[in-house]
Amino acid sequence: VSRRPFIAGNWKMHKTTGEARALASAIVAGLASEGIDVLVAPPYTALTTVADALRGSRVALGAQDVHWERQGAYTGAISVPMLKDAGCTHVIVGHSERRELFGETDEAVARKTRAAIDGGLVPIVCVGETLVEREQARTMEVVEREVERALRALSPAEASAIVLAYEPMWAIGTGCAATPEQAQEVHRAIRRFVARSHGDDVSSALRILYGGSVKPDNMRSLMAQPDVDGALVGGACLEAASFLGIVQASGAA
Ligand code: PGA
């Protein structure tokens, strides 16, 4: 099976609208590699600006989070129809910062995943263990639980259309990425788990991104792993040169 490489940049809480337009334009101008899906996920306030800057390009637009209700009295929340209206095709769900800093549960992640699919957005569902969980040899248990909860209610067709991101929390923003072998071990385990829960066809079609201190330098060796299909990039996506370097490295594997 050939899975198209996918590189997503999570801008987190960075960039004013002016800065966002400049970065998105620089990415569009510098994008050479064909055959790779590329996405940027700016903060909510910059979505429409970035949508405008991306128009006519093949860079997709995603949001960093979403609420599961379509509308209502949920102060501060943003819904799937609002994201679609702003030009999004994708949304990141269950990022570890949402889970850790904002108390997001597996249940909330599952609801958001469901809402995204029902509303026509592709969810990029994030899973990953803490350092303590890894040291206690609980990585697979934690990751499989998160994958199971997020995918439980999805049909095979729905499950194969989402994107998963394995992001070990000890590797996020630390400069200490998982080794290619560590990433591959977990990606392979996720793929086998999904084969058991949703079947071989879903499992082999499903794209699993790695995230956590991805840089242009380490992308090639990560991408060379058979079950690594791309990256969810944080720090290194905030400048066009390093983000484009990662995109380029992912295509050369
Ligand atoms: P990082 O973040 O690349 O800065 O480690 C990755 C992420 O949180 O998605």
Q: Is the CB of 213 within 6 Å of ligand 1?
A: yes
Q: How do residues 176-204 score in pLDDT, each as one tens digit?
A: 999 999 999 999 999 999 999 999 999 99
**What is the position in ligand 1's atom list of the atom closest to the CA of 175?**
5
Task: Answer yes or no: is the C-beta of 232 below 6 A from any ligand 1 atom.
Answer: yes
Q: How confident is the model at residue 72 (pLDDT cuts 50, 70, 90)?
A: very high
Count of positions (residues) in the chain: 253
Residue 17 token pair:
């609208």
Nearest atom (ligand 1) to Cα of 236 = 3
Alpha helix (H) residue ranges in the chain: 17-30, 47-54, 80-85, 96-101, 106-119, 131-135, 139-151, 156-161, 180-198, 200-205, 216-223, 240-251
Provide the pLDDT for residue 34: 84
Percent of the chain's residues with pLDDT above 70: 99
Q: Is 168 in the pocket of ligand 1 (CB under 6 A)?
A: no
What is the model's pLDDT at position 154?
Answer: 97
Of 67, 90, 95, 198, which residue is the catalytic one? 95
Q: Is the CB of 92 under 6 A from ligand 1?
A: no
Q: Residue 150 and residue 113: Cα distance in Å, rounded?
A: 7
* pLDDT of 253 above 50: no
* Cβ(178)–Cβ(172) below 8 Å: no
Does 95 qualify as catalytic in the annotation?
Answer: yes
pLDDT category at 1 given cuts 50, 70, 90 is low
The minimum-distance atom of ligand 1 relative to the CA of 10 is 9
pLDDT-based confidence at residue 51 (cuts at 50, 70, 90)? very high
Nearest CA to ligand 1 atom 6: 234
The helix/strand/coil state of 94 is coil
10 Cβ closer than 6 Å to some ligand 1 atom? yes
What is the residue-averaged pLDDT of the chain? Answer: 96
Decide: helix, strand or coil at residue 123. Answer: strand
What is the rounded distance in angstroms from the CA atom of residue 112 to the CA atom of residue 70? 11
- Regarding the beta carbon of 237 and ligand 1, being less than 6 Å apart is answered no
pLDDT digits (tens, 9 = 90+) for 130-146: 999 999 999 999 999 99
Q: Is the predicted pLDDT of residue 33 greater than 80, yes or no?
A: no
For atom 1 of ligand 1, the residue with the nearest CA is 234
Ligand 1 midpoint to CA 158 (Å): 26
- Residue among 220, 127, 121, 120 nearest 171 (CA): 127
Mean pLDDT calculated for residue range 42-60: 98
The CA distance from 125 to 123, in Å, is 6
The mean pLDDT value for 11-20 works out to: 98
CA dihedral of 137, 160, 9, 189, whole degrees rounded to 10: 20
133 noted as active-site residue: no
**What is the greatest pairwise CA distance in the chain?**
48
Q: Could you report the per-residue pLDDT of 77-121, keeping only the tens digit for each?
A: 999 999 999 999 999 999 999 999 999 999 999 999 999 999 999
Question: Is 252's pLDDT higher than 60?
Answer: no
Check if 214 has its Cβ closer than 6 Å to any atom of ligand 1: yes
Q: Per residue in 201-248, pLDDT tens? A: 999 999 999 999 999 999 999 999 999 999 999 999 999 999 999 999
Atom of ligand 1 nearest to the CA of 97: 8
Provide the sign of the torsion angle of the four alpha carbons 41, 42, 46, 52, taken in this order.
Answer: negative
The distance from CA 129 to its chain's CA centroid, rounded to whole angstroms, is 16
Which one, of 68, 67, 127, lies nearest residue 99 by Cα? 127
